Amino acid sequence: MRSRRQFLMAGSALLLAGCGFQLRGAPHLAYQKVYLSGNLDHDLDREVRTALTRDAGVTLVSRPDQADVVVYVSPLVKDKQILTLNAQGTVSQFTLLSRLRFRAADSSGEELLPPTDITISRLFNYNDVQILAKQYEEQLLYKDMRHDLVQQMLRRLAALKPKAAASP
């Protein structure tokens, strides 16, 4: 009985490995030096810099002429819209929206990636009885959305192949 279970578990693992399933890892960028430009709030700036240096493995430089790619990031735009009202006329659900706009160019100013918008939304159930808990939950949702936006931006930047980095 025990050997049958081990055989089934080993067979399942082989099937999963054979189908090409692979967890999404950090994107690999085809360039090594990036200049980050934009007037970002502290949290977004830290998130983008960490993602570029730690996750993507690039070096951030202090001047645009030293970089293979210059990334221009606009400030994060947050919005909160009422989605539903309850029978008493108070809000019971919101839609939280976050939008990030960015573009990329090489050090000479040639556009590599046109201005790109990434928008993420989350549903947020609201309850007047739990005001403090719901405020904290909203902050966590915005933080998670910011992280998702930065990861999506990295994946789009990973598709870039600048001329300086393409030549050996």
Extents of the domains making up the chain: 2-162
Position 168 scores a pLDDT of: 45
Position 27 scores a pLDDT of: 73
Please enumerate in sequence order all residues whose Cβ is within 8 A of that of 44, keeping only pairs 6 or more positions apart, or say none: 73, 75, 76, 146, 150
Position 117 scores a pLDDT of: 97
Position 144 scores a pLDDT of: 97
Position 26 scores a pLDDT of: 66
**What does residue 99 show for φ and ψ, rounded to 5 degrees?**
-130, 135
Q: What stretches of the chain adopt beta strand conformation (E)?
A: 33-37, 59-60, 69-73, 77-85, 91-105, 111-125
- How many other C-beta atoms lie within 10 A of the C-beta of residue 155? 14
Tens-binned pLDDT, residue by residue, of the chain (168 aa): 677 777 777 777 766 666 666 666 667 788 999 999 998 999 999 999 999 999 888 999 999 999 999 999 999 999 999 999 988 888 999 999 999 999 999 988 899 999 999 999 999 999 888 999 999 999 999 999 999 999 999 999 998 887 654 444
Position 16 scores a pLDDT of: 65
Q: Does residue 140 contact residue 97 with C-beta atoms inside 8 Å? A: no
Position 10 scores a pLDDT of: 76
Round to whole Å and give the CA distance between 158 and 58. Answer: 11
Rg value, the chain, Cα: 22
CATH class of the domain whose range is 2-162: alpha beta
Element (DSSP H or E) covering residue 28: none
Position 13 scores a pLDDT of: 72
Task: Report pTM.
Answer: 0.80
Q: Does residue 157 contact residue 69 with C-beta atoms inside 8 Å? A: yes
Q: Angle CA(3)–CA(8)–CA(9) in degrees, nearest 5?
A: 95
